Amino acid sequence: MIDAERVQHRDALLKRLARVEGQVRGIQAMIRRDDECDAIAQQFSAARKALDKAYQEMLICLAEDAILNSDQSNQDKLAQVRTIFTKYT
């Protein structure tokens, strides 16, 4: 069963990704309208930052899962967290 905190994190992540999706669609519309490159670049930057924030939240989730795993020793937990950050960053 999924606990309430995990559901909140999942829902927040999905909302963040929906905003990023809206930003990307907005960028596509700007390109179709032939808007100024500077304005488009600004929107790209905002979308990238929003996606990076969502990605960071996912990494935190992975790290929390590793740290809270009671079946592992502290050394194993640290090794798993190191692997997560090495693999995904």
pLDDT of 66 reads: 83
pLDDT of 49 reads: 95
User: Domains, the chain, ranges and CATH?
Assistant: 4-88 (1.20.58.1000)
CA dist., res. 71 & res. 89, Å (int): 26
pLDDT of 2 reads: 61
Residue 59 burial by Cβ neighbours in a 10 Å radius (0-12, 13-18, 19+): middle
Segment 30-49, tens digit of pLDDT: 999 999 999 999 999 999 99
User: For the whole model, what pTM was predicted?
Assistant: 0.76
- Confidence at 74, pLDDT banded by 50, 70, 90: confident
CA dist., res. 39 & res. 46, Å (int): 11
